[in-house]
Structure 1
Amino acid sequence: MSSPSKHILLLGPAYPYRGGLAAFNERLAYALQDAGHQVTLITFTLQYPDFLFPGKTQYSEDAAPEGLAIERKINAVNPFNWWRVGRELRKRRPDVVIAAYWMPFMAPCLGTILRQLDDRHTQRIGLVHNIIPHERRPGDQLLSRYFTAASDGFMTLSTSVKEELADFSAAPVRTSPHPIYDSYGARVNPTVARQHLGLDADGRYLLFFGYIREYKGLELLLEAMANPMIRKSGVKLILAGEYYGNQEKYETLMETLGITDLVIAHTSFIANDEVRYYFGAADLVVQPYKTATQSGISQLAYHFEKPMVVTRVGGLPEIVPHGEAGYVIEQDAEELAVSVLDFYQNERTESLGKGVRKEKQRFSWSTFVETLEQLF
C-alpha cells in the first residue's frame, strides 16, 4: 500500500543533462507520481565544470521528458548558490527531499542544501548509488560524511552499499535493487537490429555498453577476445559507448592483442532511441567490472531480455544469478572466455533467456517506490 500523498523534491541530474543518473531520476519521478505523490525534479544549472567532465558533452540532444516538473537551480561549485537554493526550497515546505548521491564531488552542494531545510517538517533522504566511489581520491570519506550527516535516512540499490553506509551513519536504511530501465523503447528483433547497425544477420555478438571507464574492466574483455577459441568461434564484440578515460590505452591493447578486426566500435554517446538496437543485436551482455555496486546496464539487459556475464564484485551477483540469468565469474580473462564459449557451444540462449524473463519480475519500479516510502 502506498503512503499518503507527499510533496517531494528530487535533487540530482535530470534533463537537459544526459546519462544513466538523469534517466534514473526521471524514471523514479514518474514512478513516484504513479504512486500519487507530487514530484519536482531540482537539477543543475552547472553540474561539472567542463575541465572536470571526461566526455564530449553533458547535455542531451533528446526532447525533454513529458509530464515532469524539472527546475534547473543548483550550481555544483558555487557555495552562495547552495545557501540560496536551500533556503528557497525550505520556503516550499516539502514533505520529503530526496537527494541522489553518487560521488563525493557532489557532497558539499547537496549536503549544504539539505542543511538549510526545516528538518521538523521535511524529511531528508539520501538516495545513495555509491558511498565509496569506484575511482577513489583523497578526501572522499570526509566529503561523504558531510553528506550523510545531513540526511535522516537512506535508500540504497544494493546490500554492498548498505553495508558500506554503516561506517558513515546510523540513520535508517532501506534497500531495493535497481529497477529495470524500461524507458528506452521496446525490444527489437535481432535481425532488424543487426540490419539497422549494419551487422551480419547470422553473426555472434557480445555487447559492452556504456561509458568506458577504468573501473569497468574493458581490458579483461579484450584479453578474453584474444583467446584462440573465441576467434575460432566467430564471436565479435560490439563496443558501444563514449570513452571516459584513456582511449589510446584500449586501442593500443586491441592492436597488441591482434583483435581489432573482432571489435565493432561505436565509441560515441549512444542516443536513447538507438539503445534498443545495440541490445537487440547482441546475444550476451558482458560487464567485466573491477568494482561495482549495482549497474544500470544490467537493468537494460533485463529490459531487453539478454543474458549477461558479470564479475563477482559489489552487488552484481545479487542481480544476475549464476547459471540462471547468465554467468558470474572472477576477474579472469580465461574464465570469461570459457563462459562465452559455453554460451554458444551449448546453445544456452533459450535456457538463460527464460531465466532472465523470470528474474526481471523482481525489478519493478513499484516495488522500489514501496520500499522507498518506508522511509517517509
Structure 2
Amino acid sequence: MARRVIIVGPAHPLRGGGMATFNERMAYAFQEEGCEVEIVTFRLQYPAFLFPGKSQFTTEPAPEGLSIKVLINSINPISWWRTGQYIKKQKPDLVVFRYWLPFMGPALGTIARLIRRNKYSRILAITDNVVPHEKRPGDELLTRYFLGSCHGFVTLSRSVQQDLERFEPKKPNVYLPHPLYDNFGEAETKEAACAALGLDSTYNYLLFFGFIRAYKGLDLLLQAMADPQVQELSNLKLIVAGEFYEDVAPYQQLIEQLQLQDRLILRTDFIPNAEVRHYFCAADLVVQPYKHATQSGVTQVAYHFDKPMVVTRVGGLSELVPHGEVGYVVEPQPQAIAAAIHHFYTSVEAAILSGNISKYKKRFSWSRFVNSVWQLADSIKLKNV
C-alpha cells in the first residue's frame, strides 16, 4: 500500500515565492516515488499589516495533479485546531512541515502537537531558518514551541543545522542540499529570452533575482556596478527582477547617486513562474550579494539553467557554489563583487564554469532528497512517536 505524506506549508493559491514552489515540487517528487501526497496550506498566511509585498495570492493556475487543501489561518487558533484534527484523523505516515519564521511557531506548533496524538504519524520539519534574518522579541520562545512539537528535522544548509542543534541537540536531523528547481521549463536561447523580455540581446546581463530585502544586499551590488572595474565593461547591464519587500526609496536614491539609471533593467513586480526562465536565460551571470543568509533557492534555479554565479561568503551559500568551479565566492563587499564580475567577463572561464555546472548539479536530485527524508523518518521508531 502506498505511503501517505502530508506537506504543511505555503502552496497555491499563495504566491509564496520559492517556498511554495519548493513544496509543490517536493509533492511531485514524493508522488514520483509512489506516495500519496496532499499539501495543506494557508487561507491567511500573514495579516495585511505584516505582509511587505503587494499581494499574497497568485493569479497563476493551480499546479496540475496535486491535491492542495486550504485550511490554515496563521492568527486564528480555531483553524489551527481544525487543521490539526483533520491531519490527525488522516493518519499519514509522514507529515513534513516548512518552518521559516517564528511568527508561524504558534500555529504550526499547535497543529503538530494535535497530529502527534494519533501516535502514528512521523513529524519532520524542513527548517529553512531557525534564527530569523530579521530578529524580534520573542523569536526564541516561539521557535522552541514549534521545534518541540517535531520528531526530527531537515536543514538545507549546515549553518542552519548548527543553529538547530543549539535548540534541539538530541533529536535527529539531517542536512540535505536544496534540490534543483527544475520546474520552470527548459532553457531557451539568450536571443529568445531577451525577445520575451523586450531586451536587446547584444548586451551582456547580470541578474539579481528574488524578493528584495535588506539582507539580500542589492545595495552592495549597485555599488559594485559603479566600481571602476565594472564601469569599464561598457556593454554590461544589471537586471533586477523581483518585488520590493521594503522601502524602495533608499535604492532609488542610491541609483541616482551612482548614476546607474542607464545600466539597470528594473522589473520590480512579482515574477510569475512562467517568466522565470526568461530572466535566467537572458543572463550570463547570476549574482547573490547577500549580507547574511542560510540558503537560497535562486542558486538552484541558476544551476538548472547552467548559469555561473557570484555568491557572498555568508551562511550556506558557499556550500553549494564551489569557488572557481561553478562560480565565485567573495566577501560581501562591493569591490570584491565587482572584481568577480570583471574577472568573469575578461577571462576565458565562462564556458568552463557552465560546463562544470552541468556536471555538478546532478547531485541535487529530488529523488535523492525525498529518499533521504524517508530514511530520516524511518529512523524514528514508533516508541518515540
State whether residues 28 and 365 of structure 1, in contact with CA within 8 Å, keep that contact through their aligned partners in structure 2.
yes
Cα displacement string for residues 52-93 of structure 1 (whole angstroms, at most 9, x for unaligned residues): 110011111111101111000111001122122212221122
Q: Distance in 2 between matches of 1:237 and 1:296?
A: 20
Cα displacement string for residues 302-325 of structure 1 (whole angstroms, at most 9, x for unaligned residues): 011100000001111110000000
> 1:15 aligned to 12, 17, 28, which one?
12
Matched, 1:276 2:277: yes
Cα displacement string for residues 92-113 of structure 1 (whole angstroms, at most 9, x for unaligned residues): 2222111110111111000000
Determine the structure 1 residue equivalent to 2:264. Answer: 263
> Normalising by structure 1, what TM-score?
0.97
Identity %: 51
Determine the structure 2 residue equivalent to 1:114. Answer: 112
Determine the structure 2 residue equivalent to 1:186. Answer: 186
Cα displacement string for residues 149-178 of structure 1 (whole angstroms, at most 9, x for unaligned residues): 000000111111111100111210011110
For structure 1, the residue ranges without an aligned partner over 5 or more in a row are none
Measure how far apart 1:119 and its partner are: 5.4
Q: Distance in 1 between matches of 2:308 and 2:19?
A: 23
Determine the structure 2 residue equivalent to 1:338. Answer: 339
Determine the structure 2 residue equivalent to 1:298. Answer: 299
Q: Which amino acid is 2:187 matched to? A: R
Determine the structure 2 residue equivalent to 1:156. Answer: 155
**Change in 2 beyond 3 A, CA 1:337/1:242:** same
State whether residues 175 and 371 of structure 1, in contact with CA within 8 Å, keep that contact through their aligned partners in structure 2.
no
Measure how far apart 1:202 and its partner are: 1.8
Measure how far apart 1:196 and its partner are: 2.0
> Normalising by structure 2, what TM-score?
0.95
State whether residues 223 and 258 of structure 2, in contact with CA within 8 Å, keep that contact through their aligned partners in structure 1.
yes
**Bigger mean CA offset, 50-59 vs 195-204:** 195-204
Q: Which amino acid is 1:97 matched to? A: V
Determine the structure 2 residue equivalent to 1:213. Answer: 213
Q: Which amino acid is 1:87 matched to? A: Q
State whether residues 178 and 363 of structure 1, in contact with CA within 8 Å, keep that contact through their aligned partners in structure 2.
yes
Q: Distance in 2 between matches of 1:9 and 1:197?
A: 38
Determine the structure 2 residue equivalent to 1:78. Answer: 76
Mapping of residues 59-138 of structure 1, within 5 Å: 59-117=57-115, 118=117, 120-138=119-137
Q: What is the DSSP-based 3-state SS (H/G/I as helix, E as strand, rest coil) of the residue aligned with 1:180? A: coil
> 1:38 aligned to 19, 26, 36, which one?
36
- Runs (4+) off by over 2 Å: none
State whether residues 320 and 326 of structure 1, in contact with CA within 8 Å, keep that contact through their aligned partners in structure 2.
yes
Measure how far apart 1:187 and its partner are: 0.5
Q: Distance in 2 between matches of 1:199 and 1:81?
A: 47
Q: Which amino acid is 2:55 matched to? A: T
Q: Distance in 2 between matches of 1:184 and 1:38?
A: 24
Q: Distance in 1 between matches of 2:42 and 2:304?
A: 29
State whether residues 125 and 152 of structure 2, in contact with CA within 8 Å, keep that contact through their aligned partners in structure 1.
yes
Q: What is the DSSP-based 3-state SS (H/G/I as helix, E as strand, rest coil) of the residue aligned with 2:230? A: helix
Cα displacement string for residues 161-201 of structure 1 (whole angstroms, at most 9, x for unaligned residues): 11110011121001111001011111110111112222222
Determine the structure 2 residue equivalent to 1:198. Answer: 198
Q: What is the DSSP-based 3-state SS (H/G/I as helix, E as strand, rest coil) of the residue aligned with 1:233? A: coil
For structure 2, the residue ranges without an aligned partner over 5 or more in a row are 378-385
Q: Distance in 2 between matches of 1:79 and 1:310?
A: 40
Q: Distance in 1 between matches of 2:47 and 2:348?
A: 48
Measure how far apart 1:230 and its partner are: 1.3
> What is the alpha-carbon root mean square deviation over aligned residues?
1.1
Determine the structure 2 residue equivalent to 1:372. Answer: 373
